């Protein structure tokens, strides 16, 4: 989906505000979906915002500076649970985030047939 510039958004808002055109007519003319036009009008009315929100990924839970201490902690405590790791580093995230970080760093979290963490 293409991102609309602030100028296009402003034109759409002004056209709708004039009362001459419907949201559907503006959407057809500009080549955007009518829900986009509706969102631009709502956002402008609420906060006078014309610029699109930034795109991209969320900031990583563990920075590159924290990865070294994380690796050292896991190597010193191979039976540490994900919750213990999260608490040790005082992170406010879900356990899946910790699990994905551990997997990205090359650590495997296996359990034995008794559903207990396997010993190193």
What are the tens digits of pLDDT across the range 37-65? 999 999 999 999 999 887 777 788 898 99
Q: Which residue has the tokens 């580093």?
A: 89
Exposure on the CB side of residue 40, measured as CA atoms within 13 A:
27
What are the tens digits of pLDDT across the range 4-47? 999 999 999 999 999 999 999 999 999 999 999 999 999 999 99
pTM higher than the cut 0.85: no
Residues in the chain: 120
Q: Which residue has the tokens 């010993």?
A: 119
**pLDDT score recorded for residue 42:** 95
CB 103 within 8 A of CB 110: no
Tell me the domain boundaries of the chain: 6-47, 57-120
Q: Which residue has the tokens 């949201």?
A: 23
């Amino acid at each position: 989906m293409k991102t609309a510039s602030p100028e296009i958004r402003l034109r759409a808002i002004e056209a709708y505000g004039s009362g001459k055109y419907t949201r559907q007519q503006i959407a057809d003319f500009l080549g955007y979906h009518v829900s986009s036009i509706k969102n631009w009008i709502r956002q402008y009315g609420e906060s006078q915002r014309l610029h699109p929100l930034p795109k991209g990924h969320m900031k990583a839970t563990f920075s590159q500076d924290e990865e070294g201490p994380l690796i050292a902690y896991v190597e010193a405590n191979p039976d540490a649970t994900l919750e213990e790791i999260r608490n040790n580093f005082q992170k406010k995230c879900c356990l899946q985030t910790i699990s994905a970080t551990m997997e990205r760093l090359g650590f495997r979290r296996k359990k034995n047939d008794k559903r207990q963490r396997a010993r190193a």
